[in-house]
Structure 1
């Protein structure tokens, strides 16, 4: 199975929910449940949304981390979903970035360098 197929499959609520249950990680399931409640979603909706958010918002380092997990995985699908859901939980815990965080605007016409 290719990564694109895994991501497409888990972007569906029912498949993401089933896979999350199959992870047998009660702590992760509880964390997802709390996040889902916060956003008035089901666990499956949150997990599927996490996959879609990862596909659209993850940076190169996130993708590299995912590839490393998949390379070492005994079950690439489950490990992929676990990695992505943990990524999403971490994103949801982080405070919003300041508009000028990391900005070196001085003297360059306001362009942001990071």
Structure 2
């Protein structure tokens, strides 16, 4: 399911809806700003951030991600929220 959600992030409408569904308007604003700064659409930014996490996250990051997913009724959204939060915080 998470893989499907990640694949759909390249669709601008799905990306924005997904970020809105995460329930964190501040995160949406920060992600939009980071995407603008990078010169890419929001969906491409979000999908890229998630893919980079999947490819290169260390064990601690994975443990945090799994914990966030386990505590949520919407684990896919929790994963995206956690990954994007980490990414925008490091910018």
Aligned positions of 1:1-114 closer than 5 A = 5-12=1-8, 13-14=10-11, 15-91=14-90, 93=91
Counterpart-to-counterpart distance in 2, 1:61 and 1:70: 14
What is the root-mean-square deviation in Å for CA atoms of aligned residues? 1.6
SS at match of 2:79: helix
CA contact (8 A) 2:5 2:76 kept: no
Number of equivalent positions: 88
Counterpart-to-counterpart distance in 1, 2:56 and 2:4: 15
The unaligned stretches of length 5 or more in structure 2 are none
Q: Relative contact order (alpha carbons < 8 A, sep ≥ 6): 1 or 2 greater?
A: 2
TM-score by length of 2: 0.84
CA contact (8 A) 1:11 1:52 kept: no
Bigger CA radius of gyration: 1
Counterpart-to-counterpart distance in 2, 1:63 and 1:41: 26
**Structure 1 runs of 4+ with >4 Å offset:** none
TM-score by length of 1: 0.69
The unaligned stretches of length 5 or more in structure 1 are 94-114
Question: What are the superposed Cα offsets for residues 35-91 of structure 1, whole Å, 9 maximum, x if unpaired?
Answer: 001110111111111110101111000000001001111211111110011122234
